[in-house]
Structure 1
Amino acid sequence: MLIAIIKNTARLLLPGLIAFGISIQPLQAEESYINESQQILDVIDRWAEAWINLDAETYISYYSKHYRPDNNTSHRAWVGGRKERFSQQKWVKLGISGIAIAKQDGGLYTATFKQRYKSDSFRDSVRKELVFKREQAQWKIIAEKIIAH
């Protein structure tokens, strides 16, 4: 889908629509969305790499300092739990596919994808959603949830 300016009128061009004889220029908002989506894809890639490498400090750095997995767990307790879990694992394999990124109100982005996880002690395959917010010029995970098993 492309949003474009055609003769000073905003039009939505659907996939497969061909327009002849007119000049189509992407809106700044569309270009911004593409750039920000690529930045978020890069964060997801580095987040997954840190997880695979069992690098707890780097993995945790992709989360907001305000991240809480639920209302009953503080950020500090979550960090401690992640570090402990990482230290107990011998290896991790992680596959991510079918990533879809959507811009939300308030400058937030959601990324949904299929995650296949396997370690020396556990395995699962889920659909996951990560919510990102820009904090000090970096995209950080502010929410994470499994949306389907």
Structure 2
Amino acid sequence: MTTATAFADENEEVSRLFRQGNLAKALERADAYLAKHSKDAQMRFQKGLILTEQNKVADASRVFASLAEDYPDMPEPYNNLAVLYASQGQYEKARSALEAALRTHPSYSTAHQNLGGIYATMASQAYDKALQLDKGKAVAQTRLSMIRNWGVQDHPRETQLALAVPVPPAPDPGKAADRTPARSAEKSLENTPSKTAARTPEHPAPANPFAAVKPASAPRNDSSDVLGAIDAWAKAWSSKDVEAYLGFYAGSFRPPKGVSRAAWEKGRRERIEKPKSIRLDITHVKVSSVDATHARVSFRQSYYSDIVRSTTGKTLEMVKSGDRWLIHQEQIGR
């Protein structure tokens, strides 16, 4: 087995454990690998994600800060540092980190989305302060109401930002070991230059060590096919592609509470089309009872839109139709 293949297998195993919510085991495997390959970029990145999910903010921040130093041209570590700063109410630091991410990659949509959330939260705090000083300021009251209608919560520390979560495996581990930090993470936040304009066919952008790539030779089984179906279902929902979303429900699907299929589809269409934007995060995924044509998938679902936000457990009963896994039944909670 080659070094690259061994890395891909180990990275996939850590990713699988993370998706299933087995964070302690995932961290143990990541640490064991990094003990031998301390400079590996993607495994370090995965460790940062695991620590974030465990709410070990200081440890996760050190991991992403180190990656930002080693890879100053990549936006993902800066983005995730910003998420951690915001979780602690450090919005100025979060803004600086996101601006650093956008200097390296001006079209990075996740950072743009997060920066908008940070600006809205900071504006909400400013108008709140104005009202505390003078409760009669009608303009401040109106603008604060508008901001909160956009989705900023009354408690700014609950501001929801999107983590960059790439899918492994990583590139050749030997390449990461050759990278030398050019500056400290704190200085990088202020001084990261824009590389986009200077990139030409003769000087292409560097390969992203955090890219979402799976090996073509990676083996597949029923569990990975089911997970692929869940990912595609969530992406269709997040992108407001109603037809694709409804297409993931089997003909045998029966809506809850005696609602007809036609009425259910109409209601789902309205709920998907009404918000201006939707984001769906799926974590702690567990696949069980897999046979040739049936599977049960449970997970934690976090839903964000400009209208409502919610987090809940969900269980899907899946059936295989041809070469596709479709939803036969869904239940809230697990």
**TM-score, length of structure 2 as denominator length:** 0.33
Aligned counterparts of 1:117 and 1:47: Cα–Cα separation in 2 = 13
Aligned counterparts of 2:314 and 2:258: Cα–Cα separation in 1 = 21
Please state if 1:141 is matched with 2:327. Answer: yes
Aligned counterparts of 2:310 and 2:327: Cα–Cα separation in 1 = 21
Match of 2:277 among 91, 94, 97: 91
Point out where structure 2 has 5 or more consecutive residues left out of the alignment.
Answer: 1-219
After superposition, residues 1-149 of structure 1 pair within 5 angstroms as 35-103=221-289, 107-147=293-333
CA-based RMSD: 1.7
Aligned counterparts of 1:123 and 1:144: Cα–Cα separation in 2 = 19
User: SS state of the match for residue 118, structure 1?
Assistant: strand
Equivalent AA in structure 1 for residue 320 of structure 2: R
User: SS state of the match for residue 126, structure 1?
Assistant: strand
Contact 1:50–1:59 under 8 Å retained in 2: yes
Contact 1:66–1:75 under 8 Å retained in 2: no
Contact 1:68–1:78 under 8 Å retained in 2: no
4+ residue stretches of structure 1 with deviation over 2 A? Answer: 104-107
C-alpha displacement of 1:90:
0.7
Compare the two structures and name the one with the higher helix fraction.
2
Aligned counterparts of 1:93 and 1:66: Cα–Cα separation in 2 = 27
Compare the two structures and name the one with the higher strand fraction.
1
**1:14-40, CA deviations, whole angstroms, 9 ceiling, x for partnerless residues?**
xxxxxxxxxxxxxxxxxxxx6111111
C-alpha displacement of 1:136:
2.9
**1:93-135, CA deviations, whole angstroms, 9 ceiling, x for partnerless residues?**
1111111000167842100011111111111111110110012
Contact 2:229–2:324 under 8 Å retained in 1: no
Aligned counterparts of 1:104 and 1:139: Cα–Cα separation in 2 = 11
Length, aligned pairs only: 115
Q: 1:42 to 1:106 in 2, by over 3 A?
A: closer
